[in-house]
Amino acid sequence: MEKDFTRRTFIKGMAVGTMAGYLGAAGLSSTVFKNQLLPQEKLNQVDIGEIKALKIKVVSETSWYDNNVFLNDVKGAGGLLVNQYTIPWTCAGVAAGYQGSNLGGFSTYIEATLMDGKVMKIHFDTGWNPAWMEKRFREEGVAEKLAKKEIDFMVLSHEHIDHFFGLEATLKFYPDIPLYVPKGFYQEGFDFLKGKSFPAANAINNIPHRGKMTVLDSSKVNILYPGIALMTFDVPIILRVFGEQAFVFNVKDKGLVLVTGCCHQGIISYMEEVRKKVKGGEKIYAIEGGLHISPFEDWDPQYDDLIMAFNKYGVQKIGCNHCTGFITAEKMHKAGLPVIKGTARNMTKRDIYLGNGDELAIA
């Protein structure tokens, strides 16, 4: 009987001790001993090679004219998680907009000079409103290069409306253009590439893509040519999109240049990934493209975290635009970040960052 009594209390004590021991170990490991217990960070850098020079032209960074019209479309459809292929995007009836539409689009034209002198011509994203995109392609000479098949390949940064739905404006000139897309495209995206339209979303494409298409994933740094690489990120994105890719160029004597579409992965997350995976990634020379911070002139204290941390990275040139947002650009200028001003032409509303037709050359 006495033995039973001791055993019973022993077991009780053990139960309490186990819970206390587990919680105590958890509490101490996660605070006092945390630095000792966390595994060391491992760098796994690859050498992507070098290019001689880089020229980046903003073809169109203006994706929608009136923020309120765009946001009302989003709100009416049920918010930021609704599938973009089902939302009746307002296009007509905005006289001051892009060819009378609220919809513009994002596209960048890139020339990268390889070490042997060959110039690689890259068509990066294809915008939203085909009429507007065609006009911009013609104005910047991109249409002509497409028609002559002088452009080496097209890269789609991600599946979003304003980077992708203007596909017809590209395929019209060059239907068999070689194409790189990031892993994460939905079936609708592949169907759209094949010439299927989504009238509910005013997404029309009557020209099937007939060229080679390569889907790139995040398992490695995808080196396309020496000094030209793409990195893919498995990120879930608003309007039911998944995955984005962005460029890493290595310009001789300058350093790494990151060129993004929207950068939904986050610019600091991107720089951190480059630091871990690309040789020379500790120091980024320049950044160009959308930084996806306040695309709707909305805000979140998290974005200030980003601006406050940005200076530590010592980037020398920031050619941002598009979904970076005007508020962000103002705050970045105030924080002393080297944001390059633009010329506010071709329907870009302000000169606070690189706008339509502006160019960034690195050599």
Partner 1 sequence: MSHQVLDTLFLEERKFTHIIKQPVVRGVVNVLLAFAFFMALWWVFMDPRGWLRWYTPQYGYMYIRWLLIVAIWQVYIFNFWPFKIEWLEKTHPLQKGLIMIGINFAITGILVWVFYYWIFGKLAIPYFSWPELKKTGLSDFFSREYSSLAILMMAAIASWLSPIWPSAFENYPWHRLQQPAKGFTVLAVTFLFTTYAYFIFMHPHYRVLFYPWQEYTAAFPWWYESFRTLSGNFNVGWIMCATVSVWLTETILEHYPFRLVEKQPWRGLAGFAFILLLAWILFFTFTFMQDMVWGVSVEGAKRLMAPDWRYLHNGELAVILLTVALALYFYFDNWPRKFSTEVNLLVRVAIVIVGAWGLHWLYYKFSPGLLGTQAGYSHPQQFPMAPVILFINVMLYHGWFMDCWPGRRIRKES
Partner 2 sequence: MEEAKTAEAQEKSGWGSGIAVGILVGVALFCLTYALLIMAK
Question: In the complex, which residues of this chain contact partner 1 (CB under 8 A)?
Answer: 8, 11-13, 15-16, 18-19, 23, 26-27, 29-31, 34, 37-39, 41, 67-68, 71-72, 74-75, 77-83, 234-238, 240-242, 264-266, 268-269, 272, 296-302, 304-310, 327, 331
30/206 with CB nearer partner 1? 30
Terminal-residue alpha carbon distance, the chain: 89
Q: How far is the CB of 234 from partner 2 (least distance, A)?
A: 16
Report the C-alpha gap between 306 and 285 in whole angstroms. 18
Closer residue to partner 2 (CB): 234 or 359:
234
Residue 11 binds to partner 2 (criterion: CB under 8 A) = yes
- Number of Cβ within a 10 Å radius of residue 340: 16
Does 12 engage in binding with partner 2 (CB under 8 A)?
yes
Among partner 2, partner 1, none, residue 7 binds (CB under 5-8 Å by kind): partner 2
33 binds partner 2 (CB under 8 A): no
- Pick what 38 binds: partner 2, partner 1, none; C-beta below 5 to 8 Å, kind-dependent: partner 1
32 interacts with partner 2 by CB under 8 A: no
Separation between Cα atoms, residue 331 and residue 319, nearest integer Å: 15
Residue closer to partner 1 by CB (options 230, 239) is 239
CA neighbor of 353 nearest in space, from 362, 337, 361, 363: 337
Residue 10 in the binding site for partner 2 (CB under 8 A): yes
Phi/psi of residue 298, nearest 5 degrees: -95, 175
DSSP 41: P
Partner whose binding site includes residue 148, from partner 1, partner 2, none (CB under 5 to 8 Å by kind): none
Q: Residues near 31 by Cβ (< 8 Å), separated by ≥ 6? A: none
Residue 17 CB-density burial (10 A; 0-12 exposed, 13-18 middle, 19+ buried): exposed
Min dist. Cβ of residue 96 to partner 1 (A): 18
Residue 10 binding target from partner 2, partner 1, none, CB below 5 to 8 Å by type: partner 2
Which of the choices partner 1, partner 2, none does residue 147 contact, using the CB cut-off of 5 to 8 A by kind? Answer: none
Compute the distance between CA of residue 269 and CA of residue 179 in angstroms, rounded to an integer: 26
Comparison of 23 and 147: residue with beta carbon closer to partner 2 = 23
Closer to partner 1 by CB, 281 or 357: give it. 281
CA distance 253 to 342: 25
Size of the site for partner 2 (CB under 8 A): 26
Chain-centroid distance of CA 337 in Å reads 20
Neighbours of 344 (CB within 10 A): 16
Measured distance CA(205)–CA(146) in Å, rounded: 17
Q: Which two tokens stand for residue 209?
A: 């893509």
Interaction site with partner 2 (CB under 8 A): 2, 5-26, 29, 37, 39
